[in-house]
Each structure stands twice: as C-alpha cells, then as structure tokens.
Structure 1
Amino acid sequence: MTFAKTLLGAVAVLALSAPLALADELLADYVAFIGRDDLHNSKGARLSEPWQILRQDRANYHRFGISQPGDEWDPVFENKNNRAVMERMIQHGSISASAGRDIVRGGVMVRVKVYDGGKRDYVRVTVTR
C-alpha cells in the first residue's frame, strides 16, 4: 500500500469517527424599519442603545400594534420574555458599530436573524439600505 493510500484511509477514518458538528438553527429572520416611534420607550424617553431600540421596535410591533411599512412579523420576540433578553442575545451575536450608530439615528431598515446556538441563543443584526 502506498503512503498516499494510507494517508487517505486515515483521513477517512478520522472523518467518519469525528462527531458531526451541528449548525446553529435559524429561529427567525425578519426585517424592520426603525422609525421615530421605535426611538422612544413607552414613557417617551429617548433610547440611546441599538438593542434598546430593537427591543422597542418589537414591543411596538407585537404589543402596541405600531409598525412602519416594511416591518415583518417574527416568532421569537412576540414573547415579552424573549424581548427582555434581546440585549444578551445581541451581545452573544453581532452588530457592527456602524449599524449600531445607524439604528440609534433611526430611519433605517434592519435585518435581524435569531439563532439557537445550542448553549445560548444569539442575534445577528445588519442594516440594509
């Protein structure tokens, strides 16, 4: 047996014996327009962090019936407990600094993907133009 065949066989055995890596499950994928109503909490105070605004957007949509053209339904943040942990989900996920600044300014469309990461759920947020 040649060295190449032996090496190929060893690689095949390792590949078959290694545990399969499971991909994180996409729980939700939605877009929303961040409008003026989303920039203020229910008491009228101006929000200053992107995760606060994203949370308010979902509360406006699901709880208060306030939406802007382009806002989509999602199955995760209709639950107020899930909205309450959105900040942590974003911290475990990703949002660029520039996207965060755009969200705080408002007037942008965002795309939010929510994942079940096994040990912790997380969110990836991008600003679409």
Structure 2
Amino acid sequence: MKKLMILSTVALAALSSLTVSARADDVLDEYNAYIGEDDLYNSNGERLREPWQIIRQDRANFHKYRIRQPGDESDSYFSSVDNRAAAERMVRSGTITREARRLLLNGDVMINVKVMEGDDGVYLKINVE
C-alpha cells in the first residue's frame, strides 16, 4: 500500500510538471490575404518558388508598395521590414500542408496566416481558405 501511494505521488508530480510546461502558444497577429499575380513575382519580375517568398512579397506589396487585392487584410506584424525578412525562418518553423503549399505557389487563392509565438520563437500557421 505504501509503495502504491509513493508511485501515485510520483506519477502525479510528473503529470503536473507536464501540464505546467505544455502551455498554448500565443497568437501575435492574424490576417487573411488574397494571393494574386502581383504576389507571385518579386520586384525584379522573377517568379517566386517558395511559400515564404510569396508571404514576404504579399506583405511588402501590402505595406510598402500599397499593392492590394480584394480580400487583403492588414496586419501589424509584417508592417516591419525586419519581420518580413524573417518570413523564411517563420514558415520553416511553422505549419503548412503540402496541399496548401501547392495552392499558395499557384496563386489565385485566399490564405489565412497566424503569427504565433511559442517556446522556440515566432512561427507561422498558414491555411488556404
């Protein structure tokens, strides 16, 4: 009986420590955007081939160049050029399905982007609407 009590106490303590460290990540910002033809090419006219490049170009178009399509929403996070420059790392650390990646690269699609912050830093959750 004493062994069972000790075992129960140890198990409860272990479970409590897991609960404390497993906190939900925070949403820093969220926006919807239409990925159109203007978002698929960089300022030199080169076709973009990676999701992070298109996300970065879309936000530069929105904030810097004022190129906007119907459905584009504002965000505060990517108004910073430094944050746009970090898009590659944030996409690589984040989540995007293979299908969402394919659709994003083809354009003519609405996306939802959540800028998340967790224990390992800031990352993106990208979904196709």
TM-score (norm 1): 0.85
- The question of 1:61 aligning with 2:62 is answered yes
Alignment match, 1:88 = 89
| Equivalent residues, number | 126
Instruction: Name the CA shift for 1:13/1:33 in 2 (closer, same or farther; >3 Å).
Output: same
Structure 1 counterpart SS, 2:64? helix
Whichever residue aligns with residue 114 of structure 2, its letter is: K
User: 1:97 and 2:95 equivalent?
Assistant: no
SS of the counterpart of 1:121?
strand
Opposite residue 46 of structure 2, the aligned amino acid is A
Gaps of 5+ in 1: none
- Give 5+ residue unaligned stretches, structure 2: none
| Residue equivalent to 1:118 | 119
Counterpart Cα distance in 2 of 1:39 and 1:78: 19
- Tell me the TM-score normalized by structure 2: 0.85
Distance in 2 (CA, whole Å) between partners of 1:14 and 1:120 is 26
User: Relative to total residues, which structure has the larger helix share, 1 or 2?
Assistant: 2
Structural RMSD (CA) = 2.2
Shift of 1:119: 3.0
What does the per-residue CA deviation read over 1:5-30, in whole Å, with 9 as the maximum and x for residues that have no partner?
x58x73655555x2723321110111
Percent identical: 44
Aligned structure 1 segments of 4 or more residues deviating by more than 3 angstroms: 11-16
